[in-house]
Amino acid sequence: MRVFACPNCGSWVEFEDRICLACDTHLSYAPDRDLIVRSVPGLKCRYRPLLSCNWVADPDPEADGSCAACRLTVERPDLEDEVAVTQLSIAEQGKRRLLRQLLHLGLPVEPRRDDRGLGFALKSPAAGEQVLTGHADGLITINLTEADDAHREALRISLGEPYRTMLGHMRHEIGHYYWQVLVDGAPSQAIFRSLFGDERQDYSASLDSHYGDEDGDGQESGEHITDYATMHPWEDFAETFAHYLHIADGLETTAAVGITVDGPTGVSAPLAGTLRSVGVLRLEDLTMAEILGHWHGFAIAANALSRSMGEPDLYPFVITPSVAEKLAYVHELVRAA
Site residues for Zn ion, 212-241, by CB under 5 A, read: 235, 238
Residue 302: closest CA among 291, 311, 293: 311
Which CB sits closer to Zn ion, 100 or 294?
100
Q: How far is the CB of 293 from Zn ion (least distance, A)?
A: 29
Per CB under 5 A, the segment of 16-24, 97-105, 183-191, 306-314 that binds Zn ion is 16-24
Binding of residue 68 to Zn ion (CB under 5 A): no
For 44, counting Cβ atoms within 10 Å of its Cβ (0-12 exposed, 13-18 middle, 19+ buried), the class is buried
Helices (DSSP H) in the chain: which residue ranges?
A: 48-51, 82-105, 149-158, 166-178, 189-196, 203-212, 233-257, 288-308, 321-336
Per CB under 5 A, the segment of 24-32, 79-87, 214-222, 262-270 that binds Zn ion is 24-32
Binding of residue 45 to Zn ion (CB under 5 A): yes
Q: Are 79 and 50 in contact (CB under 8 A)?
A: yes
**What distance lies between CA 247 and its chain's CA centroid?**
10
Binding of residue 167 to Zn ion (CB under 5 A): no
Q: Which residues of 108-137 are buried (b: 16+ CB within 10 A; e: fewer)?
A: ebebbeeeebbbbbbbbeeeeeebebbbee
Binding of residue 55 to Zn ion (CB under 5 A): yes
Instruction: Determine the Cα–Cα distance for residues 232 and 249; give it in Å rounded to an integer.
Output: 26
Instruction: By CB under 5 A, name the one of 23, 257, 281, 305 that touches Zn ion.
Output: 23
Separation of first and last alpha carbons in the chain = 20
Binding of residue 182 to Zn ion (CB under 5 A): no
Q: How far is the CB of 175 from Zn ion (least distance, A)?
A: 7
Binding of residue 5 to Zn ion (CB under 5 A): no
Per CB under 5 A, the segment of 12-20, 105-113, 212-220, 316-324 that binds Zn ion is 12-20
Instruction: Determine the Cα–Cα distance for residues 257 and 245; give it in Å rounded to an integer.
Output: 18
Instruction: By CB under 5 A, name the one of 27, 36, 53, 166 that touches Zn ion.
Output: 53
Which CB sits closer to Zn ion, 29 or 298?
29
Instruction: By CB under 5 A, name the one of 20, 107, 242, 323 that touches Zn ion.
Output: 20
Amino acid 195 reads L
Binding of residue 8 to Zn ion (CB under 5 A): yes
Task: Give the contact letters, 250-289, x = binds to Zn ion (CB under 5 A), - = no.
Answer: ----------------------------------------
Binding of residue 9 to Zn ion (CB under 5 A): yes
Q: Are 5 and 18 in contact (CB under 8 A)?
A: no
Q: Are 317 and 163 in contact (CB under 8 A)?
A: yes
Q: How far is the CB of 83 from Zn ion (least distance, A)?
A: 20
Binding of residue 22 to Zn ion (CB under 5 A): yes
For 153, counting Cβ atoms within 10 Å of its Cβ (0-12 exposed, 13-18 middle, 19+ buried), the class is exposed
Which CB sits closer to Zn ion, 9 or 154?
9
Would you tell me which residues interact with Zn ion (CB under 5 A)? Answer: 6, 8-9, 11, 20, 22-23, 25, 45, 47, 53, 55, 67, 70, 235, 238
